[in-house]
């Protein structure tokens, strides 16, 4: 995978209320969520960008109030998972 470096002016980060050690990861997650929300990135690409697994990324979207488009394969998988869970 090819990486990209994004350079931000230091003065744009003054007053950011995110601990410096968490800043890069938090910015990656926020960017991935925003690009997914705008339809620019697929869910899989957004997960990779954020460095999160699918379930963790979906949780992040829920926390931010970002809805996820529903497609038939995902719905069928959710119904199958629910049926298996109910059968326990």
**Which of 63, 66, 60 is CA-nearest to residue 40?**
66
Q: What band does 69 get if pLDDT is binned at 50, 70 and 90?
A: confident
Residue 1: pLDDT over 80: no
Per the prediction, the chain carries an average pLDDT of 92
Average pLDDT over residues 27-39: 96
Say if residues 27 and 12 touch (Cβ distance below 8 Å). no
Instruction: Say which residues have a Cβ less than 8 Å from residue 25's Cβ, sequence separation at least 6.
Output: 51
- What is the pTM for the complete model shown? 0.75
CA 76/CA 78 separation, integer angstroms: 5
């Amino acid at each position: 995978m090819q990486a990209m470096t994004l350079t931000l002016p230091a003065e744009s980060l003054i007053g950011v209320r995110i601990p410096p050690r968490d800043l890069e990861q938090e910015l990656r997650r926020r960017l991935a969520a925003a690009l997914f929300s705008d339809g620019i990135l697929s869910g899989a690409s957004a997960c990779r960008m954020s460095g999160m697994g699918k379930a963790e990324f979906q949780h992040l979207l829920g926390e931010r109030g970002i809805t996820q488009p529903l497609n038939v394969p995902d719905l069928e998988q959710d119904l199958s998972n629910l049926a298996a869970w109910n059968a326990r």
